[in-house]
Amino acid sequence: MDFRALNIDTPIELINQASQRGLIGSLGIEFTKIEAGTVEGQMQLSEKNCRPDGILHGGANLSLAETLAGLGSMLLVDVNEFNVLGIQVNGSHTGILKEGKAFATAKIMHQGNQTHVWNVDVTNEEGRLISAVRVTNMIVKRND
C-alpha cells in the first residue's frame, strides 16, 4: 500500500499489513480502531519489545504512542501535500507490563495547521495505566 493513498476510509487491515515492515512490525504494533481524531492499537509483549528482565521496555511504550499519533495525524492531512514528523514525545511510565498486551488510545488535543498534539494512554489488559504520553507532530509541506 502506498501511504499517499491513506485516508480515513482505508481498511485497517491494509494499514496493518503495510505497517509491518520496520520498527512497527518488529515491536508487534497493530492498529485496532481508527477514526478522525482517535487511533487505538495494541502491542503483544515479546522479547523484541521488553527489557532483559521480561518487562515491557519504556521505549517500546513511547514507540507505540508515537506510531498511533503519527497515523492519526496522517489521517487528518493530505499526505500527498504534507509530511507528518514527530518532533516531541514525552512519557510518564506509571506501571509495568510483565505479560499479555499493551493497549493504547491516542486522542488529538490540538489540531493546528503546523502542529498536532496527541494524548496517548497506554494500559494493560485490565485497563490500568502503564504510560501517559504526549506526542507533538509537525505538519510540513512536501517538496518532493
pTM equals 0.95
* pLDDT above 80: residue 113: yes
pLDDT band at 127 (very low <50, low <70, confident <90, very high): very high
The residues spanned by each domain of the chain are 3-141
43: left (phi over 0), alpha (psi -120 to 50) or beta: beta
Contact 131, 58 (CB under 8 A): yes
DSSP state of 25: H
CATH topology assigned to domain 3-141:
Thiol Ester Dehydrase; Chain A (3.10.129)
Contact 57, 50 (CB under 8 A): yes
pLDDT at residue 5 in the model: 72
pLDDT digits (tens, 9 = 90+) for 32-83: 999 989 999 999 999 999 999 999 999 999 999 999 999 999 999 999 999 9
